[in-house]
Amino acid sequence: MTLLALFLLMGGAGCNRENPTGEIQIKDFSFLGCKEETTGFTKSAESPEYIEYEALAGGYLHLRHVNAVFNCCPGRIKADVSVEGNTISIVESETDPQCKCICDYDLAFNLGPLSNNKDYTLIFSRYKRELVRFTIKYSPSLEGKVDIKRFK
């Protein structure tokens, strides 16, 4: 009986190895692009920019930022997260852009862990400018889409 209790205790303690503090983080970041190169700094409405989200197991939210605009020769594209209360700020950025052109990329990542039935305000920013702000109530069935107005 003691051995069984020890085994269950060890198994339970090992479930959160990736994020032992329980702090909200970004996992599994990836991007696809460059979809269409443009030499100007504005994009047409032909390729609308938006964010899709869907709840995953374990309190995570899968986010897809479709048609995010970055340099067509970025050194690296990444997303960083910071949390203040129930406000989650996601800053997308690129390092060492090499070309004088832009294009659309699709970014994808998982955000969490989030608490069930809790409200969160998500703020997406790029180039030190807020792109969109929206509020969700996290639940295992959560999914949705938010459109982003392109800045000029």
pLDDT in tens, 94-137: 998 889 999 999 999 999 999 999 999 999 999 889 999 999 99
Residue 47 has pLDDT above 60, yes or no: yes
Average pLDDT rounded to a whole number, residues 18-46: 74
Cis bond before residue 48 (omega within 30° of 0):
no
Is residue 119 assigned to a domain?
yes
Q: For the chain, what is the domain count? A: 1
CA distance 82 to 60: 16
Is residue 71 assigned to a domain?
yes
The torsion region of residue 117 among left (phi > 0), alpha (psi -120 to 50) and beta comes to left
Domain that holds residue 57: 22-148
Task: Quote the pLDDT of residue 32.
Answer: 92
Residue 25 has pLDDT above 60, yes or no: yes
Indicate yes or no: pTM above 0.75. yes
SS3 content of the chain, % helix, strand, coil (to 5): 10, 55, 35
Is residue 3 assigned to a domain?
no
Is residue 42 assigned to a domain?
yes
Is residue 10 assigned to a domain?
no
Task: Quote the pLDDT of residue 86.
Answer: 95
Is residue 83 assigned to a domain?
yes
CA distance 74 to 97: 4
- Cα torsion for 126, 130, 131, 134, to the nearest 10°? 130
Is residue 95 assigned to a domain?
yes
